[in-house]
A and B are shown apart, each in its own frame.
Chain A
Amino acid sequence: MALLEIKNLSLYIPTGTEQVKALDKVSLTLAAGEIKALVGESGSGKSLIIRSIIGALPETWSVKADRITYDGQDLLNMSRNQRRQIMRRDIAVVFQEPTSALDPSVKISAQIQESIPDEFIDKGFIWQRWKQRQQISISLMHKVGIKDHERYLDCYPHELPTDISQKLMIAMALASEPKILITDDSTRGMESTTKTQILRLLSKLNKTKNLAVLFVSHDLLAVTNMAETMTVLYCGQTVESGKVKSLMKKPLHPYTKALLDSAPSFQVSLPPKSELIALKGTIPTLQHLPIGCRLGPRCPNAKKECVVTPIPRKIHEHQYSCHFPLHFPNVKGPDKEVHL
């Protein structure tokens, strides 16, 4: 059974006179011990999904969903307290901007200590408890690969290099020994060596602690190195999901194909300085969403049927929402493909 399950989540945001549908029937599952990538461009709604999971949404926004469950428990219909408890212990999030998520005026040592749940500290005199927290902090830092903890404990956040602050954010997220770690765009703007370190760290935690990871990113190189499964989001709609391998090999949705084409590293025989394949236009704003399939105006394959939102279809473990998928699956002869 899925550890985290989201089924048909829609999110409405009021803007002036009307409501916009920022998320449109998004579905997503994460199994225990799985690494899943959530991929999509800026403004596609990745962070909104995370905020819907953790319940950090303004009162005026409305959420509609068939279900959002953690370990079988209904997150939408439980008491605030119960939900807070789950967020405190079981689901940890590392946010997009490490420097803004850390308190600039508080030393690192205090911030890590703060993240350790009280129940991990045995009763004792105050200095004994402090000592215990300090020890746990140091072991957390070691766990994420910060060896010279002495050097950083006494620092303020702005004094840290980016890779160290990102690792610290992960360390703090791990303090409660969560079952699920959600990382929001944690490799953006990192150089390749630092990125490799962070990816290794996440894979290791996944293997040794059976930690489930929801890896939110639009860095495809990072995604294929990390995740077994991925869900692709465009403009608040889930367009395709399945095993990373099969999506990379045979994307069914035109948007997934465009994403893959955009990474020059994936093209084996691309001559230097040659033109890259690119979709025309840009992701529309929420105020100007096209009806039906939201890729419509930019899609090279769009036909008149596309003004109706495509329903999700499934072949094996591979799910897609498109009226005219790229490799039309042939049920009788799986080796044969029809290109539309």
Chain B
Amino acid sequence: MTPILQAENIEYTFKFRPSFFAAKSIFELGPLSFSLNTGETIAIIGNNGSGKSLIAKTLVGAIQPQKGQISLLGSNENHANKKTRTKTIRMIFQHNQSIMNPALSVGSMLHLPLNLNTSLGYSARRAKIEQTLLQVGLLPEHYHFYRDMMSDGQQQRVAIARALILDPKIVVADEPFAALDPSVRSQTVNLILKLQKELGLAFIFISHNMGIVRHISDKVIVMDKGKLVEHGNTQEVFKDPQHPVTKKLVDAHFNLVSKHFEST
């Protein structure tokens, strides 16, 4: 496996007011380091407010870390170039509902990233859009659909299509499964597994769903109060969690699972 992304000692600090009258607090993310290989999946877990979404945002460049660096490896293009970065790393956001513009058709929404980041002509773009729609399990007809005509699951697929349309090497996703129904969730999981197998897609995702984390990730990163407290091979972390936070999350999950098997 070849490393494709490397995060070295990234740190991000910001001040915020928890409430109007309270004193300012400081949130410190990191320092944290990890690397991602082609075709690999890393899951980020941890309690609410532990900094998981911040990591995702720094990876896609929505936030600039004050210290350390994130480097994209394995391609000889200029990494400082923002365009290259947008093409290589794509993000699927947490609430696709609010991201998906109700006034735009699926087609125009997918033309946009192609317009901004490629020099493809109209018909080439149309062909690419059609291919991507099929790839995520939608139909060419969906080109003409608007948000309100689609179910949650279909909207989620549009969000995935928008991430995939630039043929990225890495996809970062914040809770991609939380809003999905069981049957659509399995379809999405299968889609990601397929893309990894076929295209060597690397995938980083944040999730509370420990069953899915355990099933699809190769490595896990456990966050607590902005710090990386555990990092390792998924199967090993689930078998033998080291940090108390990890223990709690893993135990709680296995308790639920074992109660299920006791009761059936």
Instruction: Give Cα distance in the complex from A192 to B179, angstroms.
Output: 16
Residues of chain B contacted by A270 (CB below 8 angstroms): 215
Query: Are the C-beta atoms of B18 and A282 separated by less than 8 Å?
Result: no
Query: Are the C-beta atoms of B182 and A221 separated by less than 8 Å?
Result: no
Q: Is B76 an interface residue (CB 8 A)?
A: no
Q: Which of B79-87, B105-113, B117-125, B248-256 contacts A (4 or more CB under 8 A)?
A: B248-256
The digit string for A182-225, where 1 denotes a CB below 8 A from any CB of B, is 00000011111101100000000000000000000010111011
**Which residue of B19, B49, B182 is within 8 Å of A156 (Cβ)?**
B19
Q: Is B259 an interface residue (CB 8 A)?
A: yes
Q: Is A316 an interface residue (CB 8 A)?
A: no
**Which residue of B45, B48, B152, B234 is within 8 Å of A272 (Cβ)?**
B234
Query: Are the C-beta atoms of B264 and A249 separated by less than 8 Å?
Result: yes
Q: A43-B151, A283-B181 are in contact. Are A278 and B186 (CB under 8 A)?
A: yes
**Which residue of B153, B190, B218, B263 is within 8 Å of A276 (Cβ)?**
B190
Nearest CB on B from A227, distance (A): 10
Q: A41-B182, A43-B152 are in contact. Are A192 and B19 (CB under 8 A)?
A: no
Nearest CB on A from B235, distance (A): 7
Query: Are the C-beta atoms of B151 and A285 separated by less than 8 Å?
Result: yes
**Which residue of B41, B183, B216, B260 is within 8 Å of A278 (Cβ)?**
B183
Query: Are the C-beta atoms of B182 and A218 separated by less than 8 Å?
Result: yes
Q: Is A259 an interface residue (CB 8 A)?
A: yes
The digit string for B12-30, where 1 denotes a CB below 8 A from any CB of A, is 0000001100000000000
Query: Are the C-beta atoms of A224 and B183 separated by less than 8 Å?
Result: no
Nearest CB in chain A to that of B185: its residue: A262
Residues of chain A contacted by B189 (CB below 8 angstroms): 276
Instruction: Give Cα distance in the complex from A195 to B252, angstroms.
Output: 9
The secondary-structure label for the interface of chain B is helix
Instruction: Give Cα distance in the complex from A222 to B210, angstroms.
Output: 13
Nearest CB in chain A to that of B211: its residue: A265
The secondary-structure label for the interface of chain A is loop
Q: Is A248 an interface residue (CB 8 A)?
A: yes
Interface residues of A in 251-297 (CB under 8 A from B): 258-259, 261-266, 270, 272-280, 282-283, 285
Query: Are the C-beta atoms of B208 and A190 separated by less than 8 Å?
Result: yes
Q: Is B100 an interface residue (CB 8 A)?
A: no
Query: Are the C-beta atoms of A272 and B235 separated by less than 8 Å?
Result: yes
Residues of chain B contacted by A263 (CB below 8 angstroms): 182, 211
Q: Is B184 an interface residue (CB 8 A)?
A: yes
For the side of the interface on B, what is the size category?
A: 35 or more
Q: Is B127 an interface residue (CB 8 A)?
A: no
**Which residue of B149, B212, B255, B260 is within 8 Å of A266 (Cβ)?**
B260
Interface residues of A in 125-180 (CB under 8 A from B): 155-156, 158-159, 161-162
Residues of chain B contacted by A220 (CB below 8 angstroms): 182
Query: Are the C-beta atoms of A196 and B256 separated by less than 8 Å?
Result: yes
Residues of chain A contacted by B211 (CB below 8 angstroms): 221, 263-265
Interface residues of A in 226-260 (CB under 8 A from B): 244-245, 248-249, 258-259
Query: Are the C-beta atoms of A193 and B260 separated by less than 8 Å?
Result: no
Chain B interface residues toward A at CB < 8 A: 18-19, 41, 45, 47-49, 149, 151-154, 175, 178-179, 181-187, 189-190, 193-194, 208, 210-212, 214-216, 218, 234-235, 248-249, 252-253, 255-257, 259-260, 263-264
Q: Which 9 pairs of residues, A with B, have the shortest CB-CB distance? A: A278-B186, A41-B181, A265-B211, A262-B182, A192-B252, A264-B215, A276-B186, A248-B264, A224-B260
